[in-house]
Amino acid sequence: MNSNDSLSRRRFLKLTGGAAALATVGSSAARAAEPASNIPPVRAGRNQPRRFMIDCHLHYQERPFYFESMQTFYKERNAMGCCNGWRAQFPAIMEGAKKHPDVVIPFGRISVDDANALSDVDYFAANGAKGIKLRDPRYNWDDERYFPIYERIQKHGLVGLYHTGIAGFGTLGFPRMRPEYLMTIAAKFTDYQIICGHFGNPWYAEAAEVVRWCKNVHCDITGSTLTKLQGRLSEVKQHLWWEGPSQHSAPDTVYAFEKLVFGTDEPPEKIDNMLSRTEDMLDACQVPEDTRRRIYGGTMAKLLKIPVRT
């Protein structure tokens, strides 16, 4: 048994609870304890109004007190997290959701090229999953050999979270995960709610046009994008440029930033990093508060059919 395993739950909550009690996002005091090389370049002291939040992009980690960490950091911020994992990990995720239903939203994870992909989707749906994470296809996302999987996900009413854009690791690189392929899927499966993960990095314009034309596609901006754009975050608006219906869009097109949903793709205790980056980007793009509330939680609550908390 290692020292982490011997750490008592009471001591863990005492330690992390102190961190969670910080009133500001990205607290400089909390970050000062980290080695300089590990500190993300986020602005300290970022105050935000209390909002209901749903983190759509959270990966389960097999480590002690993972869900206690979620409970500590997410509940303090009136947040929930869509925690995804493979079938072998899903019993732990469901146990976490059972213990912390006000914080944990269970998501499955599949490889679309696995022979068991369809049965995995059925398993996740039967055991309470609200969505599925998909990554690293051998063929383009819109290859027709994957259509039975998408049809099954749609049948079960699950949200599909697709990795799009650059993959820092993986078997075949990222050209097969371009955001443009999601347009084909969205048009074929019109009741299938899709999230374009990472805003298609680096194909932002492509991802933006997909969400502009497809009512059933939204984007998160997780990953490196908001870090590399620091100092020029207003550039996001060059891609999310439309205010509503235009001469070159559908008559029911909504304001561009309403097609964003919040996500972190980071460990639970790092939620403040992405909150700071996201809020700075929304400031730079002059996004109004009612839209921010949709981005942070309102839209995901609607997609997942869960109530918005006050």
92-106 burial by CB neighbour count: b if 16+ within 10 A, else e? ebbebbeebeebbbb
Whose CA is closest to 83, among 285, 236, 266, 274? 266
Q: Is the dihedral of CA 167, 170, 173, 174 positive or negative?
A: negative
Please report the pLDDT score of residue 161 as a whole number.
Answer: 98
What residue type is 142 in one-letter code? D
The H-or-E segment that residue 264 falls in is none
Q: At what angle do helices 66-76 and 271-284 cross, to 10 degrees?
A: 40
Please report the pLDDT score of residue 173 as a whole number.
Answer: 63
Q: Is the dihedral of CA 50, 52, 57, 61 positive or negative?
A: positive
Q: What digits encode the pLDDT tens for the residues 27-46?
A: 333 333 333 344 344 455 57
Spell out the domain ranges in the chain: 3-19+55-304
- DSSP code at position 46: B
Please report the pLDDT score of residue 248 as a whole number.
Answer: 79
| Interatomic CA distance for residues 146 and 225, integer angstroms | 28
Please report the pLDDT score of residue 251 as a whole number.
Answer: 86
Please report the pLDDT score of residue 172 as a whole number.
Answer: 61
Residue 130's φ and ψ, nearest 5 degrees, are: -105, -15
| Interatomic CA distance for residues 259 and 244, integer angstroms | 11
CATH number of 3-19+55-304: 3.20.20.140
Please report the pLDDT score of residue 196 as a whole number.
Answer: 98
A 10 A CB-CB count for 310 gives 7
For tokens 């097999």, what's the residue? Answer: 62
Please report the pLDDT score of residue 32 as a whole number.
Answer: 33
Please report the pLDDT score of residue 250 as a whole number.
Answer: 83
For tokens 């079960």, what's the residue? Answer: 156
The alpha carbons of the chain give a radius of gyration, in whole angstroms, of 19
Please give the torsion angle defined by the CA atoms of residues 22, 26, 29 and 31, in that order, rounded to the nearest 10 degrees. 130
Please report the pLDDT score of residue 10 as a whole number.
Answer: 42
| Interatomic CA distance for residues 150 and 167, integer angstroms | 22
| Interatomic CA distance for residues 120 and 128, integer angstroms | 13
What tens-digit pLDDT sequence spans the chain (310 residues)? Answer: 444 444 444 444 444 444 433 333 333 333 333 333 443 444 555 778 889 999 999 999 999 999 999 999 999 999 999 999 999 999 999 999 999 999 999 999 999 999 999 999 999 999 999 999 999 899 999 999 999 999 999 999 999 999 999 887 655 668 899 999 999 999 999 999 999 999 999 999 999 999 999 999 999 999 999 999 999 999 999 999 999 887 778 888 999 999 999 999 999 999 999 999 999 999 999 999 999 999 999 999 999 999 998 8
Q: What is the pTM of this model?
A: 0.85
Number of continuous H segments (helices) and E segments (strands) in the chain: 14, 7
